[in-house]
Structure 1
Amino acid sequence: MKKEWIFLLGLVFVTINSAQAEQVGSVDTVFKLFGPDHKIVVEAFDDPDVKNVTCYISRAKTGGLKGGLGLAEDTSDAAISCQQIGPIVLSDKIKNGKKEGTVVFQKRTSLVFKKLQVVRFYDASRNALIYLSYSDRVIDGSPKNALSAVPIIPWNEVK
């Protein structure tokens, strides 16, 4: 009984902490007779701490019966592209951020143990934000990763 509660609490914790992204579109990659097709999904999210930075992630989504029920584990394949969409003002917290970066996005890619993460770094010498996407698992992560850099450029607003 205790193990079931721990499992349920872990599942709730993962669900609560995962940021939501807006799905922009998707393409099917493999036809599945039962359940949804395998696909590549494109999603967008805004950096929660930096106004006017939007990131787009493309990732593999497993279909079939297991995928349709949410029981399949998605592959670690993902790509990321982030852009400045308006004027950026960085807080001191970001300018003095830790070398390990700050997690700005998480998406569950298996029932419990695997997630896609995006970590933001600040490169002070180049005045740029760096976004690293990768997949991790409790026991065995993946070295597959993708990187996007956003140079902070002065933004002239038309009046």
Structure 2
Amino acid sequence: MRHILCCLFAAAVLWAAACPALAEELDCVTTEWKLVGANHKVCVNAFDDPDVPCITCYMSQARTGGISGAVGLAEDPSEFSLDCRQTCPITLPEKFPKKKKVFSEGTSIMFKDTEVNRLYDAKRKAIVYLAISRRIVSGSPKNSISTVIVP
């Protein structure tokens, strides 16, 4: 029994390490009052890069209100902004991937999400974070980037 628990714990740790970061919602600001259902709003979330603990990204994102928004059936617009900052000294791992998805969040009930990819520019010693909206069919060209220089 103990062996099985150890295996389950190890699998959970590996799964968590492979998954993109989870965001912490800081707060939301109403942009349009709705008579029925939730208000339209912009929410600010924070997440830490899962591989570089000293980088925190802040993303603001539009949230659809109304009745469909209140029950989780609305599709949020592809409108967001991203800013990433160094919060302590950065030490990159020896095998640092050139590209990796570091955050993903669903923005509709089906097939649409916002994701943040980390790109490493070794020549300029910079980490570039790119936020995009993905959809199985007809994604959005709207995007936002932020860079962090690696000393």
Q: TM-score, normalised by structure 1?
A: 0.80
The one of 54, 79, 82 equivalent to 2:81 is 79
Question: 2:100 aligns to what?
Answer: 102
Provide the alpha-carbon RMSD of the alignment.
1.2
Question: 1:119 aligns to what?
Answer: 117
SS at match of 1:23: strand
1 CA distance for matches of 2:95 and 2:21?
20
Q: CA deviation at 1:148?
A: 0.1
Aligned length: 133
Q: CA deviation at 1:104?
A: 0.1
CA contact (8 A) 1:83 1:150 kept: yes
CA contact (8 A) 1:105 1:119 kept: yes
Q: CA deviation at 1:127?
A: 0.7
Give the unaligned 5+ runs of structure 1: 1-16, 154-159
Q: CA deviation at 1:110?
A: 0.2
**Does 2:36 align with 1:34?**
yes
CA contact (8 A) 2:21 2:49 kept: no
2 CA distance for matches of 1:115 and 1:133?
11
Question: 1:149 aligns to what?
Answer: 147
2:102 counterpart letter in structure 1: V
1 CA distance for matches of 2:116 and 2:65?
23
Q: TM-score, normalised by structure 2?
A: 0.84
Please identify runs of 4+ aligned residues in structure 1 that moved more than 6 A.
none
CA contact (8 A) 1:32 1:63 kept: yes
2:75 counterpart letter in structure 1: E
The one of 69, 72, 75 equivalent to 2:71 is 69
Deviations 1:106-145 (A, max 9, x none): 0100002100000001111111110000001011100000
User: Sequence identity of aligned pairs in percent?
Assistant: 48
1 CA distance for matches of 2:95 and 2:39?
43
Q: CA deviation at 1:19?
A: 4.0
2:39 counterpart letter in structure 1: D
